[in-house]
Amino acid sequence: MSIIIYLQILLIIISLVITFGKDNLNMVIFFSVFSLICASLYYFYRAPDLALAEAAIGSAIVPLIFIITISKQREFMVICNIEDDFINPKSKEGEGYKLLSDFTDYYNLKLVVRENKEDTIYGVFRVRNVDLSVKKKKDKYIFEGKSTSIIMNKLVQMTKECSKVDILLVEEEQMDD
Amino acid sequence: MIKKILVLLMLFTILVFFMITISDFNINTYTKDYLLENGYKETGSQNLITAVYLDYRLYDSIFEAGVLLVTVSGIIFMSKKDDEVL
Amino acid sequence: MKTSEILTTICKVLFPFVLSYGLYVIINGHISPGGGFQGGAILATAILINYLIGIHIVEDVGLLVKVEKYTFIVIMLLAFVSLFTRGELFTNFFSIQSSILQKRIFLILMNFFIGIKVATGLIAIFSTFIEEGE
């Protein structure tokens, strides 16, 4: 009987940690532990089939979905509309590419550059996940980003010295041309 | 402030009434007794939960499986909207 | 992102055991705790664990959804048979006087099909999530 009380107290502590914690990946692991303790409590309360379902879904499938979502969020998506040496995604060279990789290294993000072809980008992906798009107007390169994104301010600071680059901040709906 | 005290009082009265009703509540064990007596003979399942959800309430569990089908098709429809829909 | 050697080896060793445990839970659903839904979830977990170490098992999501649809139709038809043999809708299709071994055939069939349906459904949901990001 005493192990049930011990597990219940542990459950309350872990749920408080999940609620007030800051790091996302740690929270996913705590969520998995929460489900395991829940499953053992179900077993002690004589519901072993519920314990099986909880252990399979709560502590394996849902944390896997969360982990993959978090790892997808660590990308910085750039759509490239120009075809010259300023940004060259294949050889990873060029002045603009170096600027962008400096910027993403500062935030520990992964830089992904895609060329604008209709058949490579599709689905829900087209509307929401683009962080930056690059265009060319006369002699200047124009970076278009969301005005709601916080890290764009850092990009504005970094590109002050570079005379070739202009930054345009637009609203959320105008990003997907 | 008065509103909060009123809400607290209401919640407390509800709690007390629930506790009183639960303490002298006669739970009807008619279904439980019937299942324990006839469940194994009528369905052939030693696990009485399976007896309930595959024989007595099969109508319920079939449409529970249908809900999962609807969920899957909805997610696939949202993710492949522009290309061909399966 | 690099995955560690220990995680890769453990996942590969654990995979057949988890798979056979899921099948055991499905087939023995009428004797021991468990059943179609729980066993299907365990089967789905066994296959989805492979995504952690970078192995992509599922090639075609459309095939999975097709399997799920036809399994649902089979479940409906199995439940409808009792209308002709017993006169009631949605029960066992053997008559109520038949022996316990005969009645168990229906339970095993239903558990098996429900397990396949749940497993394919969960795998389909998860692999669309993964394909979306690539």
- And the tokens for C129? 């999530």
Higher pLDDT, A30 or A75: A30
Residues 6+ apart with CB under 8 A from A166: A140, A141, A142, A143
d(CA A35, CA C21): 20
Domain boundaries, chain B: 2-79
pLDDT digits (tens, 9 = 90+) for C86-112: 888 888 888 888 888 888 999 999 999
- pLDDT tier at A177, thresholds 50, 70, 90: very low
Of C38, C129, C133, the CB nearest to A56: C38
pLDDT digits (tens, 9 = 90+) for C24-66: 999 999 999 888 899 999 999 999 888 878 788 888 888 999 9
Q: Count of domains in chain C?
A: 1
- pLDDT of the residue at C1: 55
Contact A49 B49 (CB under 8 A): yes
Higher pLDDT, B52 or A150: B52
Which chain A residues have a beta carbon less than 8 Å from that of B80?
122-123
pLDDT digits (tens, 9 = 90+) for A4-40: 999 999 999 999 999 998 888 899 999 999 999 999 9
Residue C120 to chain B, least CA–CA distance (Å):
10
- pLDDT of the residue at B82: 56
| 3-state class (DSSP) for residue C68 | helix
Candidates B38, B40, B43, B73, partner chain C, best to mutate (most C CBs within 10 A) = B43
β-bridge pairing A75-80 and A132-137: parallel
pTM recorded for the entire structure: 0.76
pLDDT digits (tens, 9 = 90+) for B12-41: 999 999 888 888 777 788 988 999 998 888
- pLDDT of the residue at B86: 47
Chain C residues with CB under 8 Å of a chain A CB are 1, 25, 33-35, 37-38, 41-42, 44-45, 48-49, 51-52, 122, 126, 129-130, 132-133
Of A53, A64, A125, the CB nearest to C41: A53
Question: By the 8 A CB rule, do C124 and C61 touch?
Answer: yes
Q: The complex's ipTM?
A: 0.83
Contact B72 C118 (CB under 8 A): no
Would you call C118 an interface residue with chain B, using a CB distance cutoff of 8 Å?
A: yes
pLDDT digits (tens, 9 = 90+) for A95-125: 777 777 787 777 777 777 777 655 454 444 4
Contact B82 A49 (CB under 8 A): no
Nearest chain A residue to B78 by CA distance is A124
Reference A103, options A140, A153, A31; nearest CA is A153
d(CA A117, CA A91): 19
Say yes or no: domain A74-174 is CATH 3.40.190: yes
Residues 6+ apart with CB under 8 A from A110: A74, A75, A76, A104
| 3-state class (DSSP) for residue C74 | helix
Mean of all residue pLDDT scores within chain B? 86
Higher pLDDT, C112 or A174: C112
Mean of all residue pLDDT scores within chain A? 78
> Which DSSP category does B84 fall into?
-
Domain boundaries, chain A: 2-72, 74-174
Residue C23 to chain B, least CA–CA distance (Å):
16
Which chain A residues have a beta carbon less than 8 Å from that of C38?
49, 52-53, 56
